[in-house]
Structure 1
Amino acid sequence: MSPWKPAAVLGGAALALAAAVAPVRAAPQAAADRTETPVASTSPVTSVAETAVRLRVPLPASAGAHPAACDYLSYLRFRSKDGPAASADADRILVAQPGILEGAGAFDSVARNTVAKAAAAGSHIEFWALDRRSNCLEDNSGVLAGLAAKDTHVAVDYYYRQREVDGHRFAGFQSNDQVKWLQNVGLEQTVRDQYDLLAAELPNQPLRKRKVRCGGHSLGGIITGYFADWDFDGNPATTADAGYNQCGGYFALDTRVQTDPFGQVPTDLVPAIKFGADAVRTGLDTGIVPRTLSAPALINTETMTLLSIAGLAARLSPGGLSDLASYVPSSFNTDTTYRFLFSKDLATFAKGSPRVQDFKFTNAAALGGLMDDDSEPLAFIQASVGFFDGGRIVDKDFPVPNDLAQAGLGVFRNLLGTEQKAIPDEPNGPLYGWRNYDDVAGLPYVSKSGKPFTTPAKEVTDIGELARSLSEHPLDFTEDYFPTRIVTDIALASAPGVADGAVHTGGVAANPTLNLEAGDGVSLTSGTRPGDVVAAGYQHLDVLTASAVQNDGKPEPISAALAAWAAR
Structure 2
Amino acid sequence: MNTRLSTGRTAKALRSAALAMLLTTGALTAAAPDARGESARTETRVASTSPVAGVTESVVRVKAPLPVSFGARPAACDWLSYLRYRAADGPEASADADRILVAQPGILEGAGAFDSVARNTVARAAAQGLHIEFWALDRRSNCLEDRTGIASGDQHTAVDYYYRGKQVDGHTFAGYLGNERLGWMAKLGIEQTVRDQYDLLTAEVPDQGLRKRKVLCGGHSLGGVITGYFAAADFDGDRATTADAGHRQCAGYFALDTTVSTSLADLSGSIPDDTNLPDIGLGYGAVQAGLDSGLLPRSLSAPVLLNPETMTLLAIAGLGAVQDPGGEADLPRYLPSNVNIEATNRFLFSEDTATFLSGSPAVKDFRLTNAAVLGALMDDNSVPLAFLQSSVGFFDGGPIADKNFPVANGGSQQPGLFGTDYKAIPDRPHGPLYTWRDYDRVGDPDDPGYRSADGTPFTSAGKEVTDLQELARSLAEQPLDFTEQYFPTKLVTDLQLATSPQVKRLVVHPGGLTANPTLTVLAGDGLLAGRIPADLHPVVADGYQHLDVLTAAPVQNYGRPEPVSTHLTEFARAPK
* TM-score, reference length from structure 1: 0.92
Q: Distance in 2 between matches of 1:559 and 1:552?
A: 17
CA displacement at 1:56 relative to structure 2: 0.3
Q: Distance in 2 between matches of 1:451 and 1:526?
A: 25
The match for 2:10 is none
**Residue range with higher mean Cα deviation, 320-329 or 541-550:** 320-329
Equivalent residue in structure 2 for 1:245, among 238, 245, 248: 248
Equivalent residue in structure 1 for 2:159, among 122, 132, 156: 156
Equivalent residue in structure 1 for 2:196, among 176, 193, 197: 193
Contact 1:187 1:499 in 2 (8 A): no
Q: Distance in 2 between matches of 1:263 and 1:140?
A: 33
The match for 1:32 is 39
Q: Distance in 1 between matches of 2:41 and 2:79?
A: 9
Q: Distance in 2 between matches of 1:257 and 1:387?
A: 33
CA displacement at 1:530 relative to structure 2: 6.3
The match for 1:538 is 544
Contact 1:273 1:279 in 2 (8 A): no
Q: Distance in 2 between matches of 1:543 and 1:258?
A: 19
Contact 2:520 2:536 in 1 (8 A): no
CA displacement at 1:196 relative to structure 2: 0.2
2:427 is matched by which residue type in structure 1? D
What pairs with 1:216-231 in structure 2 (closer than 5 Å)?
216-231=219-234
The match for 1:419 is 421
CA displacement at 1:526 relative to structure 2: 5.2
The match for 1:259 is 262
Q: Which runs of 5+ in 2 are unaligned?
A: 1-31
Equivalent residue in structure 2 for 1:127, among 125, 130, 134: 134
The answer to whether residue 50 in structure 2 is matched with residue 43 in structure 1 is: yes
Question: Cα 1:370–1:212, aligned 2, differ >3 Å: closer, same or farther?
Answer: same
Contact 2:85 2:134 in 1 (8 A): yes
**Residue range with higher mean Cα deviation, 106-115 or 520-529:** 520-529
The match for 2:440 is 438
The percent identity for this pair of structures is 63
CA displacement at 1:26 relative to structure 2: 7.4
The match for 1:372 is 379
CA displacement at 1:283 relative to structure 2: 2.0
2:313 is matched by which residue type in structure 1? L
CA displacement at 1:285 relative to structure 2: 2.3
The answer to whether residue 569 in structure 2 is matched with residue 563 in structure 1 is: yes
**Cα distance per residue 1:45-72 (max 9 Å; x no partner):** 1210000000100001111111111000
Q: Distance in 2 between matches of 1:87 and 1:386?
A: 37
CA displacement at 1:323 relative to structure 2: 1.5
Q: Name the SS of the counterpart of 1:506 in structure 2.
A: helix
Contact 1:232 1:501 in 2 (8 A): no
Contact 1:188 1:499 in 2 (8 A): no
The match for 2:13 is none
Q: Distance in 2 between matches of 1:566 and 1:493?
A: 31
The match for 1:469 is 474
The match for 2:533 is 527
Q: Distance in 2 between matches of 1:508 and 1:297?
A: 37
Q: Distance in 1 between matches of 2:182 and 2:34?
A: 25
Q: Distance in 2 between matches of 1:489 and 1:188?
A: 9
Q: Name the SS of the counterpart of 2:300 in structure 1.
A: coil
Equivalent residue in structure 2 for 1:511, among 507, 516, 519: 516
Equivalent residue in structure 1 for 2:463, among 427, 442, 458: 458
* TM-score, reference length from structure 2: 0.91
CA displacement at 1:288 relative to structure 2: 2.8
Question: Cα 1:530–1:74, aligned 2, differ >3 Å: closer, same or farther?
Answer: closer
Contact 1:384 1:458 in 2 (8 A): yes
Contact 1:28 1:200 in 2 (8 A): no
Q: Distance in 2 between matches of 1:28 and 1:261?
A: 35
Contact 2:34 2:68 in 1 (8 A): no
CA displacement at 1:201 relative to structure 2: 0.3
Contact 1:535 1:558 in 2 (8 A): yes
2:533 is matched by which residue type in structure 1? G
Q: Distance in 2 between matches of 1:531 and 1:187?
A: 27
Contact 1:28 1:196 in 2 (8 A): no
The match for 2:208 is 205
**Cα distance per residue 1:276-335 (max 9 Å; x no partner):** 112211221232321111012110000110111001111111011111121111111000
Contact 2:522 2:528 in 1 (8 A): no
Contact 2:259 2:266 in 1 (8 A): no
Contact 2:165 2:173 in 1 (8 A): yes
Contact 2:34 2:67 in 1 (8 A): no
Equivalent residue in structure 2 for 1:388, among 395, 398, 412: 395
Contact 1:371 1:381 in 2 (8 A): yes
**Cα distance per residue 1:387-412 (max 9 Å; x no partner):** 000111010000001121xxx24xx2
1:368 is matched by which residue type in structure 2? G
**Residue range with higher mean Cα deviation, 275-284 or 217-226:** 275-284
Q: Which runs of 5+ in 1 are unaligned?
A: 1-24
**Residue range with higher mean Cα deviation, 357-366 or 521-530:** 521-530
Contact 1:272 1:279 in 2 (8 A): no
Contact 2:305 2:344 in 1 (8 A): yes
Contact 1:388 1:424 in 2 (8 A): yes
What pairs with 1:14-413 in structure 2 (closer than 5 Å)?
29-145=36-152, 147=153, 151-262=154-265, 264=267, 268=273, 269=275, 270-404=277-411, 408-409=412-413, 412-413=414-415
CA displacement at 1:27 relative to structure 2: 6.5
Q: Distance in 1 between matches of 2:262 and 2:33?
A: 29
CA displacement at 1:254 relative to structure 2: 0.3
Contact 1:549 1:556 in 2 (8 A): yes
CA displacement at 1:422 relative to structure 2: 0.3
1:487 is matched by which residue type in structure 2? V
Across the two proteins, how many residue pairs are aligned to each other? 535
2:559 is matched by which residue type in structure 1? G
Question: Cα 1:289–1:263, aligned 2, differ >3 Å: closer, same or farther?
Answer: farther
Q: Distance in 2 between matches of 1:424 and 1:218?
A: 31
1:295 is matched by which residue type in structure 2? A
1:543 is matched by which residue type in structure 2? V
Q: Name the SS of the counterpart of 1:255 in structure 2.
A: coil
